Amino acid sequence: MHPISVRCTERSKGNDVAADQGTRGAPWQGPLCAGRIAVVTGGGGSIGSACGRAFADHGADVVIVDIAHDRVAAAVASVESRGRQALGIVSDLTADGAVDDMVAQAVAAFGRSDILVNALGEHLVLAGPFESSTPEGWDRLYRVNLLHTMQACHAVLPGMRERKWGRIVNFSSVEGIRSMPHAAPYTAYKGAIDSFTKTLGVEFAGDNIRVNCVAVDKTRSYQVNFYDMPEEYERHVPIWIPAGRYGEGDDVAAVVLFLSTEMAAWVVGQTIVADGGTLAAGGWYRTPVKWTNSPLLVQYFEDDPSINAARPRGVQ
């Protein structure tokens, strides 16, 4: 693929006074990412590919990075079908030098990286009791979740700082905020991403670079084994997810798109939770009759939905 020339409309330099706001127009008018270059790691997954589509729909060219060739090809085709340029990179970003090579390829093709989305992450490699885990497993999770995120930010920030514009969206998880038994290393790394994002966001805010994070849960993806779940599982989803359904990649991509534009110019170092309400629910479950914070009562009400006389303990 040959490098192409794109026009990047200059945006706010971060030193405008309030009186100037009316001269620049509303930041949500027209395509939200016109002329931008977006790099998406984990770009072949359900969330990553949805981010690629969203960027293309709003005028950006996209670099799709994933370890699976077929997913990269599909995501690239989806971007190109929307009339935008795409570069596909098949790479294991946990390998030494892989992240720097990714950024170098993006710059060679498009001249720069305006938006970085670190959507790559994994927990399945080390699911089990902590005492049975190994340092090798910890290192694998560290590389795929935290290290690649830090390396990618480190690689793109000099260019963003030079141009006085940039957007970085990291990916965390609600498990990094609450807990996830049998996944202690994973939750530690996700919590670290939240903290890293907060500090980096503050450090580079004066350069008109916005660094934020999205914490996800219960979204259709390979990570939650959704594609292997039996159909009858669907009827239980409204019990656990207040929104009443599993999230789609597009649901999360909408949040990423917002954080990647001028609409998020006043958002710095934040972790936005996109989970259909699971974190806010705090252990409460919807039954056919009542909300309950006792998992045992979920089955109780499912077996006999007519129960509504006496309120068992734990039911509001």
Residue of 142, 186, 189, 246 marked catalytic: 186
Instruction: Please classify residue 192 by burial: count the beta carbons closer than 10 Å to its beta carbon, then call 0-12 exposed, 13-18 middle and 19+ buried.
Output: middle
142 is catalytic: no
Q: Which residues contact 272 (CB under 8 A, 6 or more apart)?
A: 212, 213, 214, 215, 255, 259
d(CA 260, CA 114): 9
Least Cα distance to 40 among 256, 255, 220 occurs for: 256
Strand partners, 171: 214
d(CA 251, CA 165): 26
Least Cα distance to 260 among 132, 167, 144 occurs for: 167
Given a contact cutoff of 8 angstroms between Cβ atoms, the answer to whether 285 and 292 are in contact is yes
d(CA 152, CA 168): 10
Structure tokens at 267: 């958002």
Backbone angles phi, psi at 90, to 5 degrees: -90, 115
d(CA 218, CA 227): 13
Backbone angles phi, psi at 39, to 5 degrees: -110, 125
Structure tokens at 89: 């990179």
How far is C-alpha 173 from the geometric centre of its chain's CA atoms? 9
Catalytically active residues, by annotation: 186
